[in-house]
Chain A
Amino acid sequence: MWETIQASLGIVFQIKSILIIIFSTFMGILIGVIPGLGSFVAIVMMIPFVMNLAPEVGLMAIIGIYVGGMYGGGIASAILGIPGTPMAAATLLDAHPMAERGEAGKAIGLITTASVCGGLISAFILMIFSPLLARVALLFGPPEYTVLCIMGLSTVAILVTGSTVKGLISAFFGLLVSTAGTDITTSFTRFTFGIAELEAGIPLLPLLLGTFAVSRALLMIEEGIKIKKHPPKKLVPKYPSRKLVWRIKSTYIRSSLLGVFIGAIPGAGSTIAAYISYGEAKRRSKNPEEFGKGASEGVVAPEAANNAEAGGAMIPMLTLAIPGDPQTAVILGLLFVQGLIPGPNLYRDHGDLLYALFIGMVLCNVAMFFIGMYGTRLLLKLLMITKTTVLIPILLLLVTLGAYSITASIFDLWIMWSFGIVGYAMNKFKIPQPPIVLGVVLGPILEQAFRRSLAMSAGSPFIFFTRPLALGLILFIMFLLFWTKFSRKGMADRT
């Protein structure tokens, strides 16, 4: 293992790798700050660039964008009063009132330290526990994978904000889309309608770019980016005082651990982690009445949780190939494209790459700290001077080049424009988008596991209830589903 770690250090501590980590974290923060875009769109847009890098460097770049994007959303919440990302909506509850009363620098300092704390704790937990959990994955057979996939989809569909029915529609539609193309077991085709390009299935990246990035551009055109205010003239991020940090140290740590734990639940996501952490912090606070008015714990709790969730979400993704959230679903898709199959074999055959990823995660958080504390004003200035009339065409050009670059096929552009309409319609009809990503990425895994399970049981569906591990997973995840739904309801009542 020490040789593996040494090899990983050699990969990470090269000038090129360090520069890519810094640049990708910066880009993640920049895109995450733009209202309407966020970390998910940032990841999707940067994938075409990342795919042309070596796998280990590309994965570190994606992590930088992921981590930076989460943080950028928090900055937008505090300063602009607009959550740059859905998970930053919980941060806005206290960060924006704090900024409004003249403590914008303190808000940025708390957001930055909380994000870094959550990110570092989750990186270390990921580094220590995921190799152990990878061995547990050997016990998982097709029925267990089927249960995990279904529960992951159900979790994200049921726990997203809004209608559960619409969340499930999104998830099952994503699964259906994944069935188009050539079946990998039998080589027979489905839903190709005689189109040769569809025999390889609907390409993932153009689908994602269309559903998320193109639809965002359409919404920006329709609604406009309403940035009401400019950043305060004297925006100087301030380090939180030692006394304050010591007073709320338990909030930092508890929220980070909660974020990792919730992130490890397939499909739960950082929005859930942020809200649950906020609710817990308020419940345990000696001054709960201050929440919603600029309480320091109210800023720290959701930010630590949503950044910690990133590491947690990577645990099931790397060990079981089940993404913990939509962002890791995209990363999983990227791993598949690069021929890296998550599971115990990945740790055995590409251990140096994985440890490079973990170390890279630590460095991304360090980069985020310095960019956040010393570069926030520049970031916000860049945002202010960029006109919408320039941003939208450049965004569309970038996604076009991105979609085209994968297979140099014009057909992929048609797929992207088509799913742009689908994504736009989903936004207008309030059908949540994250479940469709999980559906598309998990579809092939779920189908193969489902069919193998039925083949094992000669067609009987009771195999999912007679295998102890599968049944245990069903019960565990149902308990978590009810607990998180109950906690969210309780938190909504209290806030």
Chain B
Amino acid sequence: MIFLRIKIWNPIIGVSLILFSVLAFGHTYTFDYPRGGGAMVDIALFPRFLLIVLFILGFLLLFRKATDPAERSSITKEKYLLSLYIGLVAFTLSLPRLGFLISAFFWVAYICWLVGERKWWIILLTAFLGTTIGYYIFQVRLGIPLPEGSLVNITLPM
């Protein structure tokens, strides 16, 4: 994770923006629409204009010095953030299979533990209350159907 400690980001963002603009500009030629129909039909006109501006801005950023000390910040707790995102992905993948109640319960408990809570009763209470209150508000009161699991399906009697 050493690259996340790089402190001068402007040239990196500038180069990334230039590359992105060029690739996206090229992609606009794959849009499927009748050519030669004028401004109202040319769906690529506006995106291309924006990408040209972004290209220029990326170029300007390449040479911009980081005058604000805050621009030299680095990412410090990358392990936590990566672990959080692995948890987010796992949670989202598990939703259609295990349903909201089970997925959310374990996910909230995991996040609690990840951010430093070590008292098990607080972790379990937060996970239980968060999940059931969320279920009550959204599923019961607002009538929004939350995911039901294809493998396991638990509902609350409300």
**Judging by beta carbons under 8 Å apart, are B17 and A169 in contact?**
yes
**Judging by beta carbons under 8 Å apart, are B134 and A397 in contact?**
yes
Cβ–Cβ < 8 Å partners of B33 in chain A: 186, 188
B interface, over-half SS: helix
Shortest B32–chain A CB gap in Å is 6
Cβ–Cβ < 8 Å partners of B131 in chain A: 397
Cβ–Cβ < 8 Å partners of B143 in chain A: 52
Cβ–Cβ < 8 Å partners of A173 in chain B: 54
B89 within 8 A of A: yes
Would you list which residues of chain B between 42 and 95 have a CB under 8 Å from chain A? 42-47, 50-51, 53-54, 57-58, 60-61, 64, 68, 70-71, 73-77, 80-81, 84-85, 88-89, 91-92, 95
**Judging by beta carbons under 8 Å apart, are B115 and A392 in contact?**
yes
Cβ–Cβ < 8 Å partners of B84 in chain A: 218, 221
**Judging by beta carbons under 8 Å apart, are A393 and B57 in contact?**
no
Q: If the complex has contacts A393-B108, A398-B134, are A165 and B60 also in contact, measured as CB distance less than 8 A?
A: yes
Q: Mark B143-155, 1 if CB is under 8 A from A, else 0.
A: 1111100000000
Of B64, B73, B112, which is within 8 A of A390 by CB? B112
Q: If the complex has contacts A190-B47, A417-B85, are A394 and B60 also in contact, measured as CB distance less than 8 A?
A: no
Cβ–Cβ < 8 Å partners of A404 in chain B: 144, 146-147
Would you list which residues of chain A between 77 and 98 have a CB under 8 Å from chain B? none
A450 within 8 A of B: yes
Q: If the complex has contacts A186-B41, A430-B71, A451-B40, are A163 and B144 also in contact, measured as CB distance less than 8 A?
A: no
Cβ–Cβ < 8 Å partners of A401 in chain B: 134, 137-138, 146
Q: Mark A256-274, 1 if CB is under 8 A from B, else 0.
A: 0000000000000000000
Q: If the complex has contacts A188-B33, A396-B111, are A222 and B81 also in contact, measured as CB distance less than 8 A?
A: yes
Shortest A445–chain B CB gap in Å is 12
Q: If the complex has contacts A165-B64, A221-B81, are A417 and B40 also in contact, measured as CB distance less than 8 A?
A: no
**Judging by beta carbons under 8 Å apart, are A429 and B9 in contact?**
yes
**Judging by beta carbons under 8 Å apart, are B117 and A390 in contact?**
yes
Cβ–Cβ < 8 Å partners of A405 in chain B: 138, 142, 144
Cβ–Cβ < 8 Å partners of B77 in chain A: 221-222
**Judging by beta carbons under 8 Å apart, are A430 and B68 in contact?**
yes
7 additional A-B pairs beyond A172-B50, A428-B74, beta carbons within 8 Å, are A165-B60, A186-B40, A189-B31, A393-B126, A428-B9, A428-B73, A455-B39
- Which 8 residue pairs across A and B have the least CB separation, nearest first? A389-B117, A454-B39, A393-B111, A188-B33, A405-B144, A183-B43, A447-B46, A393-B108
23 A–B contacts from the bound complex (CB under 8 Å): A52-B143, A165-B60, A173-B54, A175-B50, A176-B47, A176-B51, A186-B43, A189-B31, A221-B80, A221-B115, A222-B77, A389-B115, A396-B108, A396-B111, A397-B104, A404-B144, A405-B138, A405-B144, A408-B144, A414-B92, A417-B88, A429-B13, A431-B13
